[in-house]
Structure 1
Amino acid sequence: MTGASTRVFVSHLAGMAVFDPNGDQVGRIRDLVVSLRLGGKPPKVLGFAVEVVSKRRVFLPMNRVTSLESGQVITTGVINMRRFEQRPTETLVLAELLDRRVALRSGGPDGAEGEQVVVLDVAMVQTRSREWEIDKVFVEKGRSAGAAQNASAQGWWRATGGRLRRKGETLTVDWSAVTGFALREEDQGAANLLATFEQLRPADLANVLHHLSPKRRSEVAAALDDERLADVMEELPEDDQVAILGGLHQERAADVLEAMDPDDAADLLSELPPDDAERLLQLMEPDEAAPVRRLLSYEEHTAGGLMTTEPVVLEPDATVAEALARVRNADLKPAQAAQVYVCRPPTETPTGTYLGLVHFQRLLREPPYTLLGAIVDGDLDPLTPDTELPRITSYLATYNMVAAPIVDAHDHLLGAVTVDDVLDHILPEDWRESALHGGEVEAYAGDGADTASPRGVAADGR
């Protein structure tokens, strides 16, 4: 274990890989679990909340950690894989302590008694008894409570490009030099928490948000920019989506819906009361609302209800080079970039006459100057918007496709159904919830020397 004199700042642990003694990765650290104590005594570190491969969060007690060095955590051979559930006496450091406003105590040289500071980070150290405790707090002075709240709500984090820009004096103080951690924070910022997780993929950040309290989730959502929040919302269970959208100002909610893929926005609006959905649609830009309205007009489990209205569409006299430039767009999902749809103008859905499609692999085999009209595959019959889900799945499987074109009665391309949207609707309705929570399984044995504890009995005694 790291020596007693070593101090570790908790934000540096976020996302750190956890390995068993054999060198196999078990998961990644998502938070630190501590127990606050009375009388200004430093909190005791209980362990880590670790995200394993299945996206489940499990508890790793500190007495199972053998090393915290070289950017990795080494654990003993047994981790209980029962889903972690926070207890009332426990506090999550990253989720609940960062961005808090606390007050300096009297008698110290660091500031006036009662001066408000914002928590940027905390540090833990191992004691002589080989236990870990939080002993230092890294804070920022000179920012009022209102400014701290507005910094998050107005996008202070995104304005700095994910880099924390210090507005006031920063200093590191003893845990005993501050007070207020045990009080309920009504309006807590989220800038430092977001900076800690800024490199996460949308699905992983969605997992982080899912495990926050509703209050903290709303604060984090308020601090995300529209594009990032839209990406994360698309990966959340429907209940979380509805709750987050309901916590935003209506104008902001409409902006986020505009940033979402039209099919995802339509799915979310279909979960709202009709009057609320219509109110948000009216607040959206007409050009953004139109495809969403069109999608809402179709039955949910049909091609029209599943399709995206933003496939890659080009005219027949466009070149292979132009097509490759379009599918190279990093904002496209892989399934959307897998093929280009060739249509007469206009090329915005609903398009002119649909001529066929060109697969990405075919684009790679042809000279850059080749016209798409010369290599278009027009043999595959497109689907109609009323095609039901079983027919869509068999179509994709039969022709080894990752997307299928959808046309109306006049052969105008309306959109495309991608395999990810099909999977989203053939999996159980709560599949996102299950993926984020994970099921109950036996304890994980990292080496054969240890035996797994019985199901439902925590190896750490929790």
Structure 2
Amino acid sequence: MSAPTVFVARLAGAGVFDPAGERIGKVRDVVTVPRQDASPRVVGLVVEDRGRQRVFLSIGRVLSIGGGQLIASAISERRFSQRGSERLLLADVIGRTVTLQDGTTALVEDLSIAERGPGEWEVHELFLRKPKTGPFGKGPTTLALWNEVRHELDAEHDTEHLLAALEELPAADAASAMLDLPTQRMIEVAEDLSDDRLADILEEMHEDRQLEILDALGDHRMADVLDQMEPDDAADLIGHMPAERGETLLELMDPEEAEDVRMLLSFGADTAGGLMTTEPIILASDATVAEALALMRRHEVAPALAAAICVTLPPYEAPTGRFLGMVHFQRLLRYPPNERVGTLLDELIEPVLVSDTAAEVTRRMAAYNLVSVPVVDPAGRLVGVVTIDDVLDHLLPADWRAQEEGSHG
């Protein structure tokens, strides 16, 4: 079965609806970032909301595209601001001239985007019109893949090449590559990276270097990047700031993201609450195996979090209703898609309390060979999970990232 494709020109003005069917805006453009030796990756859409403000809609929040409309889980409340590495397909690409493999030129009249995986879209084909050969009518049309044509280069080509390379590298390698750059160049590159990619890269750096880069970008951009970081990483970073500065940033952050960070900051650094992340996969007991696996496959879910799901009573966002149990990925694979996850709970896995020490959490994970362990409050509500990478960060020397960076400085 071929991957779904959508022509971009037909998206212009398409309605954006929430899952309940309420109209929340309309599409104004498609946002992409370049990739080395590959078609550009779609990172989101520019949406005009009901207040006629243009905001960013992450492609990961788009649930479906079709029939002249989009269904999305939510849209941002912040005005869209184009980064240097980003290209708007309607504004920046359609209408430009490209050179074909035979040396002739053509005009980009439209282009399609294709879904390559859950929440993963890329530019697919260009719909091109060649120059007319006679005095009447229009020139012939043709289709071509992005990499089958030569695109006009501009002064930003070198920067785009570097940004494309950073998009493709694992986050830890991209962090090392950035740290190899002169400081001013590193800041310039950080300015052009998308918020989510910069967040991924910063999470692989020592807090001192994180602050050096983010301070240069200003409070509003820093808040945008903190919104995209894992809540525990954002809490660690804010915890290294003066209290007044941290509060200023929390006020600028998305309220839901800031609430998670505030909760984490309230726990001691050497406790389960201080180690945990607040964004595990949470489902009701009557959810099916198929639903669980679909959530695990989403590209924005970290591998350690995708190793298991947590089952609770409502509400299903931390802090949830009473924690019922956990189901590991491997067990889900052994049962039919319509099986209810509430029947598959692993009775050997007991949650830890937010107040339990990091040493107790580490012993529990080692004893039961766990990739993650659920964390509950005294009322038995799930508030997060501690993953194996959280534990490793705690066990390694405090300056281990700085030592890694020293080999690149």
TM-score category, normalised to shorter length: 0.5 to 0.7
1:291 aligns with 2:263: no
Tell me the distance in 2 between the aligned counterparts of 1:342 and 1:159. 41
Out of 178, 186, 189, the position equivalent to 1:217 is 186
Aligned partner letter, 2:246: A
In 2 relative to 1, CA 265–167 (structure 1 residues): closer, same or farther, beyond 3 Å? farther
Unaligned regions of 5+ residues in structure 2, if any? Answer: 1-80, 99-156
What is the deviation of 1:156?
Answer: 3.2
Greater relative contact order structure (CA < 8 Å, 6+ sep): 1
Match of 1:83 in 2: none
- Residue-by-residue CA offset, 1:351-405 (whole Å, 9 max, x unaligned): 0010011011100001111111111123422101111111111100001101010
Structure 1, gaps ≥5 residues long: 1-152, 170-187, 440-462
Contact 1:355–1:378 (CA under 8 A) maintained in structure 2: no
Counterpart-to-counterpart distance in 2, 1:270 and 1:226: 21
Equivalent residue letter for 2:205: L
Alignment-derived partner of residue 333 in structure 1: 302
Work out which of the residue numbers 353, 374, 378 in structure 2 matches 1:405.
Answer: 374
Aligned equivalents of 1:357, 1:298: Cα separation in 2: 23
1:349 aligns with 2:277: no
Which residue matches 1:140? none
Task: Report the AA paired with residue 412 of structure 1.
Answer: R
Structure-2 separation of matches of 1:312 and 1:244: 31
Count of aligned pairs between the two proteins: 269
Measured in 2, the distance between the counterparts of 1:204 and 1:269 equals 24
Distance, in Å, in 1 between the alignment partners of 2:242 and 2:327 is 41
Q: 1:413 & 1:198 partners in 2: Cα distance?
A: 34
2:204 counterpart residue number: 235
Residues 1:388 and 2:316 aligned together: no
Higher strand share: 2
Q: Give 1:243 shift.
A: 0.6
The one of 147, 153, 156 aligned to 2:84: 156
Task: Kindly state the Cα deviation for residue 167 of structure 1 after the two structures are TM-superposed.
Answer: 8.8
Q: How does 1:400-439 map to 2 (within 5 A)?
A: 400-438=369-407
Q: How many Å separate the matches in 1 of 2:407 and 2:254?
A: 38
Q: TM-score, structure 1 length as denominator?
A: 0.55
1:370 aligns with 2:339: yes
Contact 1:405–1:417, Cα closer than 8 Å, also in 2: yes
> RMSD across aligned C-alpha pairs, in angstroms?
2.6
Determine the C-alpha separation between the residues in 2 that align with 1:370 and 1:225.
39
Please state how far the C-alpha of 1:437 moved relative to its aligned partner: 3.6
Conserved in 1, the CA contact under 8 Å of 2:309 and 2:327? yes
Answer yes or no: is 1:304 the counterpart of 2:232: no
Give the alignment's TM-score, normalised by structure 2.
Answer: 0.62
Q: Does structure 1 retain, via aligned residues, the 8 Å contact 2:167–2:197?
A: no
Kindly indicate whether the alpha-carbon contact (under 8 Å) linking 1:234 and 1:264 is maintained by their aligned counterparts in 2: yes
Offset, 1:438? 4.1
CA distance in 1, matches of 2:331, 2:204: 31
Query: Could you tell me which amino acid in structure 2 is paired with residue 247 of structure 1?
Result: A
**Paired residues of 1:335 and 1:403 also in contact (CA < 8 A):** yes
Question: Following TM superposition, by how much is the alpha carbon of 1:311 offset from its aligned partner in structure 2, in angstroms?
Answer: 0.2
Whole-angstrom CA distance in 2 between matches of 1:252 and 1:424: 26
The residue type paired with residue 84 of structure 2 is: W
For the residue of structure 1 that corresponds to 2:352, the secondary structure is coil
2:196–2:229 Cα contact (<8 Å) kept: yes
TM superposition shift of 1:160: 5.9
Kindly, what percent of the aligned residue pairs are identical? 47
For 2:87 and 2:199, the matched residues in 1 are separated by 17
**Deviation by residue 1:304-333 (Cα, 9 ceiling, x = unmatched):** 011000000000000111111111111111
